[in-house]
Structure 1
Amino acid sequence: MIGKQRGSLGERTFDIFNYVFMALFSFICVYPFYYVFIYSISEPRLAQKGVYFWPASLNIDAYVKVFSLNTIPHAFLVSVEKTLLFTILCVYFSAMLSYLFTKHQMPFRRLMYRIVISSMYLNSGLIPWYITMKTYGLRNSFLLYVLPGIINAFYIILIKTYIEQLPSSLEESAQLDGAGFMTVFNKIIFPLSKPIVATVAVYASVGCWNTWIDNYLLVEKANLQTIQVILYGYLNEAQSMTQDLAAMAAHAGAGRQLQFSPETIKMSITVISVLPIILVYPFLQKNFIKGIMLGAVKG
C-alpha cells in the first residue's frame, strides 16, 4: 500500500513537472510572435516605452494603412495561389515518384533513387540556378513559383518510407481485379498515405509561402509580385513608408491624426506575412503528428 502511494505521488510529481515544463516551453515559443502582435496594435508612443503582455492603448492605424496600399491585396492573392498550387502538385508528384521507387520492377530503381537523394547534398549555387531558370523560360512567369520544386528529395524519403509499411495485400488484390498503376496509386496508396501527405503538405506550404528569392531575382512584372517581396521592401524602407503613409492620410483629410511609427509598421508587416501560414497548422495538426510518429517508428 505504501509503495503504491509513493508511486502515485511520484507520478503526480512527474506529471506536474511535465505540465510546468511544457507550459514554459510553449510560452517561450509563442511569446515572440505574441509580442510582435501586441506591439503592432499598440499606440506607438506608449509601445516605445515597453509592452509585455497587453497592448498599450489599442491602435490599428498601421494595419489600416498597410492594407490600404494598392499592391498588398493582389500580391497576397498571388502568394496564396502559388502556395496552394505548389503544395498540391508537390505532394502529389512526390508521392507518385515515391510509390514508383517502392516497385522492384522499375528499371534502374536504386540508381535513380540515389540520384534524387544526392540532390540533398549537392547544390550548384545561385548563379547556375538563375541561368537554368532563365534558360527554361521561367523568368517573369508564374510557373517559376511552382515547377522547380515539385519533386523534393526529403519528401520522397518520408513518403517512400511510409508507403513501404502499407500492407502489400491491398495492392495485390486491386491488381487481381484489373487495377493499373494509376488506379492503385490514386484510389489505394494515396488515400492511405493521408498522415504523411498532411505532414509533407505542411512542410511544402510553409516553405513555398516563405520563399521570396525567386520573385526577387527573376520576376519584374507587377502583377506577379508576391506579398513576401513587397513586404520585404516595405520592411527595409519602414521609415520612408511611414512618412508616405502619413502624407497620404493627411492628403485624404482623415478625421483624426493617424498614429504609426516605423516600428509599428515593421511589426504589422511581420504579422501579416506570418499569420496566414500559421493558420494552416490547426487543420493538419492531427495527421501531421501521426505522420511524423509513424515515420520515426519506421525509421
Structure 2
Amino acid sequence: MKKNRIKASFSEQVLQVFIYCVLIGLCLMIILPCINIVALSFNDGKDAAKGGIYFWTRKFTWANYKEVFQDGSIMKAYVITISRTVIGTLASLLVTSFAAYSLKEKELPGRKIITILITFTMLFSGGMIPTYIQYNKLGLVDSFWVYVVPGLVSVTYLLMMRTFFETIPDSLEESAKLDGCGYFRTFGTIIIPLSKPVIAVIGLYTAVNHWNDWFSGAFYMRSSNLWPVQTVLQQMLSKAMASREVTTVSQAIAQNANTVTSDSLKMAAVVVTTVPILCVYPFIQKYFAQGAMIGAVKE
C-alpha cells in the first residue's frame, strides 16, 4: 500500500534546510579545530611554525609524543589520574544516589529545609583560602584523598538524580514494601536498576571533571609525586610558554631542538589528555540522550 505523506509547505522546507545548515555548521566548528590539533601534534614542530597546516600533516613525526612520554612522571601521573577518576566517580555515585534517594522520600523529617540548605551552597562558597585552610585541618592537603573527598557530592547532580527518582512510580516502592523490603533493599532492587540513564550521565560528567582537573594537584599538593597528568602537563606547558623555547617534562631539550617546539608539544599534550576520556563515551551513549534530558520536563 502506498502511504500518504503530508507535503511540507515551501516555508517549512526552507526552515528545514536552514536548520540542517546550522547543525552542519556547528558540527564543523567543533570537528575542524580538533582535526587541526591532531594534525599539528603529528607534524614536525619547526615545520609547523611556518604555518599552513590545517587538516593534515606536512612533515609527519612522532617526536612530539616521544617528548611527552619520555619522562616517567607522565606514567606515574596517569596512574594517579586513572585512580582518582575511578575511585572518585564510584564513590560520588554511591554517596549522591543515597542522598538523592533520601531527599526523594517524603517520610524524611525536614526534607524541604534540608533541600533548601543544600541548594544554598550552589550560590555561596567560602572562597579559596578558607577552603585550603579547611582541607589542611582535615589532613587532605598533600594527600590523594583531596581528589576524592571534596567532590563526593555535587548539588547539581544530586538534584538531577533526585528529580529522576521522583519519576519512578510510587506503586513500585509500595509493592516492594508489602513484600517486606526495607529502604536499602528497595533502593538496590527497584531504584538503581531503573536509574541507569541518570547514573550513566552523572557518572560520565563526574569522570570528566576528575580527568580534566589540574587545579587540585597544583594548589593542594606539595609533592609532585601525587600530581595528576593534567597538572603535570599544565606545569610543563606553563614552563614552555614562559621560556618560549623547546621543552619537555624533564626539561631535556637538547636532543630534539630542531623538531619539537612548545606549540607542537602543546598540541600533543592536548591529544594525550583528551583521547582516553573520549573512549568512555561509546559505552554509555545509549543512556546519554535520555539521561541528559532529566529535569527538562516536569509533569
Q: Same fold (TM over 0.5)?
A: yes
Distance 1:206 1:5 in 2: 44
Query: TM-score, normalization: structure 2?
Result: 0.89
| Partner in structure 1 of residue 214 of structure 2 | 212
Which runs of at least 4 in structure 1 moved beyond 6 Å after TM superposition?
none
Shift of 1:67: 0.8
Distance 2:94 2:74 in 1: 30
RMSD of equivalent CA atoms = 2.3
Question: How many residues in Structure 1 have an aligned counterpart in Structure 2?
Answer: 290
Shift of 1:92: 1.9
Residue 225 to residue 294, structure 1, CA distance change in 2 (3 Å): closer
Residue 79 to residue 229, structure 1, CA distance change in 2 (3 Å): same
Kindly provide the amino acid, as one letter, of the partner of residue 271 in structure 1: V
**Does the CA-based 8 Å contact 2:198-2:291 persist in structure 1?**
yes
Shift of 1:82: 0.2
Kindly provide the amino acid, as one letter, of the partner of residue 87 in structure 2: L
**Does the CA-based 8 Å contact 1:61-1:258 persist in structure 2?**
no
| Partner in structure 2 of residue 87 of structure 1 | 89
1:228-256 deviation per Cα after TM superposition (whole angstroms, max 9, x unaligned):
11101110122252594442x47xxxxxx
**Does the CA-based 8 Å contact 1:42-1:55 persist in structure 2?**
yes
Single out whichever of 283-292 and 188-197 deviates more from structure 2: 283-292
| Partner in structure 2 of residue 39 of structure 1 | 40
1:241-294 deviation per Cα after TM superposition (whole angstroms, max 9, x unaligned):
2594442x47xxxxxx97211111111112212222222222222212101224
Unaligned runs of 5+ in 2: none
Percent identity between the two aligned chains: 31
Unaligned runs of 5+ in 1: 251-256
| Partner in structure 1 of residue 264 of structure 2 | 264
Kindly provide the amino acid, as one letter, of the partner of residue 117 in structure 1: T
Shift of 1:5: 8.1
| Partner in structure 2 of residue 254 of structure 1 | none
Relative to its length, the structure with more helix (as a share) is 1
1:187-216 deviation per Cα after TM superposition (whole angstroms, max 9, x unaligned):
210121111111111221111112222211
Distance 2:246 2:54 in 1: 27
| Partner in structure 2 of residue 119 of structure 1 | 121
Kindly provide the amino acid, as one letter, of the partner of residue 287 in structure 1: Y
Shift of 1:78: 0.7
Distance 1:11 1:211 in 2: 45
Residue 102 to residue 19, structure 1, CA distance change in 2 (3 Å): same
| Partner in structure 2 of residue 276 of structure 1 | 276
Kindly provide the amino acid, as one letter, of the partner of residue 100 in structure 2: S
Distance 1:165 1:189 in 2: 11
Q: Secondary structure at the match of 2:268?
A: helix
**Does the CA-based 8 Å contact 1:246-1:258 persist in structure 2?**
no
1:47-79 deviation per Cα after TM superposition (whole angstroms, max 9, x unaligned):
222211211121121101211111001101110
| Partner in structure 2 of residue 173 of structure 1 | 175
Matches within 5 A, 1:96-175: 96-175=98-177
Shift of 1:117: 0.8
Distance 1:5 1:271 in 2: 47
Q: Secondary structure at the match of 2:58?
A: coil
| Partner in structure 2 of residue 18 of structure 1 | 19
1:102-148 deviation per Cα after TM superposition (whole angstroms, max 9, x unaligned):
11111111111111111100111000100010000111211111011
| Partner in structure 2 of residue 68 of structure 1 | 70
Kindly provide the amino acid, as one letter, of the partner of residue 34 in structure 1: I
